[in-house]
Amino acid sequence: MRNLTTSSAFLALVLFAYPGKAQDHPNLAGTWQFDSSKSDQTNSKVANATWVIEEGDNSIHIVETESGNAKKVDLKCSTDGKDCNIAGGGKATASFWFNGPMLVEMETRGEHVNRYRMKLSDDAKALTVEVSSIVPRVDKADVLVFQKQ
């Protein structure tokens, strides 16, 4: 009887956890335009940025461009927390993973480390990105809002 109860509890956990996993990973794919009127920046210097995001089964590809600026950043990474190089970012690396409904990026550029937490709005028309400076430590995070194009 005890084994049956344990087995039933385990089966219920697996069945209920599995469908929820797909909902935890939002689809961030699309073209996103920075909205300065809804953003709160004190540390970041984002002006007129566009992010193009493509997702695979366990990967993400983000191309960041800024109007009037020739600078382009190209990220192709897995979403399992492994480091990848940032093309166009100098000597920089990033790692991505999902934390529930959020995609988290940890980015290292020289001695600077930033954490980006990306979350979709309920209607999937806005992408909110919380940018925290880990090294050097800054107490106030920036909040960047992008609108889906």
pLDDT at 70: 67
3-17, 26-40, 54-68, 134-148: the lowest-pLDDT one? 3-17
pLDDT at 19: 40
CATH class in words for 27-148: mainly beta
pLDDT digits over 75-131, tens only?
A: 999 999 999 998 765 689 999 999 999 999 999 999 999 999 999 999 999 999 999
Which of 91, 93, 21, 16 lies closest to 58, judged by CA? 21
Q: What is the DSSP string of 98-139?
A: EETTEEEEEEEETTEEEEEEEEE-TTSSEEEEEEEEEETT-S
Placement of tokens 């992010």 in the chain: 51
Contact 54, 72 (CB under 8 A): no
Determine the Cα–Cα distance for residues 88 and 97; give it in Å rounded to an integer: 22
Contact 19, 30 (CB under 8 A): no
Quote the DSSP letter at residue 36: G
Placement of tokens 């990474």 in the chain: 77
pLDDT at 48: 86
pLDDT digits over 42-77, tens only?
A: 877 788 899 999 999 899 999 999 877 767 888 999
Amino acid identity, position 51: W
Count of CB atoms situated within 10 Å of the CB of 44: 17
Q: Taking the domains of the chain in order of start, what are their residue ranges?
A: 27-148
Q: Buried b / exposed e across 117-134, counting CB within 10 Å, b at 16+? A: bbbbeeeeebbbbbbbbe
